[in-house]
Structure 1
């Protein structure tokens, strides 16, 4: 894996012509189906997405996950047809904009129901789960939980991808027992949360 990068490139004349042919075919299909469709404006640029090494040596790391998450990821991957576990359902890279807009904000803040309209199916309302939640907030919460659970500083810094520049960081190392203790604490938090939900 690596960090997702994007490059914007100007389309060549040949690429624009291919786009126009596809657009004409799209409009023709709509007309044959008895629908109307407006011609879209031809793009001037294309975006190329690719994986490249992370920005620094501490960004590339392995992070163990607790048993409950192993089960959920295994269940997800059994029916997942795409190359990477965290593609969109359509097999595209999640980018900061589309993930936040399409998934994170509706899940955290809720969304209104919408009736069916031309070209769009009806949409159910979602109750908010955690209004204002952000991915940055998730990192802060994870670090705070590790502090509460007395996870050793060496493992906490390694998990978060932080570089350590002091003497203590030079000499301290992560042990298997530290990792097991962290996973046990996360598993216990998950189980307590499930018990709290069942009690309500």
Structure 2
């Protein structure tokens, strides 16, 4: 039973812990207040709801490691959390006892410092959110009285919340014509039809980038792709893992795309260059998309050498200088890429560069530069594009969610189902969208330097001519 004793001008209470040892708490102004606090502790012990105040004296760095051992996370999420802990949270608060987190203003100031030190709004917000999760679990154990890292609703500048919304500006997306032109440019930069099919497949299915690169022949079934795996790149290592959030799903293919995928499956070598009798990446050696040397495309390399130049019309630059413009030999639209030249300086004569390793271009040859197609577009932006196309075409929400690997929230998801009629309608509208983009591409030129696209344009032109004859008859 708790009892109080006088200590100078204050009162101290003593009570018995669950292990039989005696604990005390000082600093009470009256005997009654001391007894009331001690009786509350004993009542919590009897109800098995008591938390030892000594736990709050643990340093945040020690609590984080204990907390971390109990987390079960996706590998990518684990890498992200570990970065935030090691580079932001522990350096700032690691030597602080958990019980000393009592000031929300201190956490707000830390978040602002993170942004002013050159980190993005997203990084600063994610670091604060993770700190809130860590302190929230500490609060449940009685280590801290309140979670001061949780951002209260309605606080902060509305302008910042509305325009930045933590996740940055609106994602760039492409129209169906822009997706076709992007695929053509990527194929020209790589010199292979494979990249044309890769970009078109990503745009017309909404598959994640890792799902496209992890696609193998057994998953391609006539007019449908079954997504059960993705090729994940993490810390320089490639491995086959289930899709994000275990979003196993079928993806229906319109007729044109089914034909492209079927042709690609017969053209590709399939077996990757990964070491081992069975590839160390975990695949079965039947990949649809591989690099020219038989390896897997690396996300950053592909973006820097192929995707970004095709979308932006220039190679990525450094922190202090813009990238070089993408130069093409304009013998036919849209031109064949050649090694870039340095930018001309105003007021000074310009001569094409010459030297070892530089392709000599005849001064009479017609050269041009590619204008930006969809500046700032990323591979993930193709998923946004596909979602936007489905919204434009009035595709039911349940089929949109299934196709992108999402779930319909609430009771709508329980009572909504995908029918064969929905699938047929989607394939019909995607086929129509593709044919319209080919017709628009024909206005720029009847031929293409990309062999595969050139055959498609010839077929589209022949089909259009036949329709014209039938209409006139």
Normalising by structure 2, what TM-score? 0.31
When residues 150 and 131 of structure 1 are mapped into structure 2, their CA distance, relative to the original with a 3 A threshold, is closer
| Counterpart position of 1:190 | 434
Q: Does 1:49 align with 2:238?
A: yes
Query: 1:64 Cα deviation (Å)?
Result: 1.2
Query: 1:176 Cα deviation (Å)?
Result: 1.0
When residues 158 and 7 of structure 1 are mapped into structure 2, their CA distance, relative to the original with a 3 A threshold, is closer
Q: Does 1:151 align with 2:395?
A: yes
Does structure 2 retain, via aligned residues, the 8 Å contact 1:2–1:53? yes
Q: How does 1:43-122 map to 2 (within 5 A)?
A: 47-58=236-247, 60-82=248-270, 83-110=286-313, 111-112=326-327, 113-114=338-339, 118=356
- Choose the corresponding residue for 1:141, options 372, 380, 385: 385
When residues 126 and 174 of structure 1 are mapped into structure 2, their CA distance, relative to the original with a 3 A threshold, is farther
| Counterpart position of 2:413 | 169
Larger radius of gyration: 2
| Counterpart position of 1:18 | none
Does structure 1 retain, via aligned residues, the 8 Å contact 2:254–2:428? yes
May I ask how many residue pairs the two structures share in their alignment? Answer: 161
| Counterpart position of 2:373 | 130
Match of 2:245, SS state, is: coil
Q: Does 1:3 align with 2:230?
A: yes
Match of 1:154, SS state, is: helix
Please list every run of 5 or more consecutive structure 2 residues that lacks an aligned counterpart in the other structure.
1-227, 271-285, 314-325, 328-337, 340-352, 362-366, 445-473
Please list every run of 5 or more consecutive structure 1 residues that lacks an aligned counterpart in the other structure.
9-46
Q: Take 1:93 and 1:125, find their aligned partners in 2: how far apart are those partners?
A: 32
Q: Which has the higher contact order (CA 8 A, sep 6+)?
A: 1
What's the RMSD between the two structures over aligned residues? 2.7
Does structure 2 retain, via aligned residues, the 8 Å contact 1:65–1:183? yes
Does structure 1 retain, via aligned residues, the 8 Å contact 2:268–2:289? no
After superposition, the C-alpha distances for 1:18-64 in whole angstroms (9 at most, x for unaligned) are xxxxxxxxxxxxxxxxxxxxxxxxxxxxx432111223122x22211
Query: 1:181 Cα deviation (Å)?
Result: 0.4
Normalising by structure 1, what TM-score? 0.69
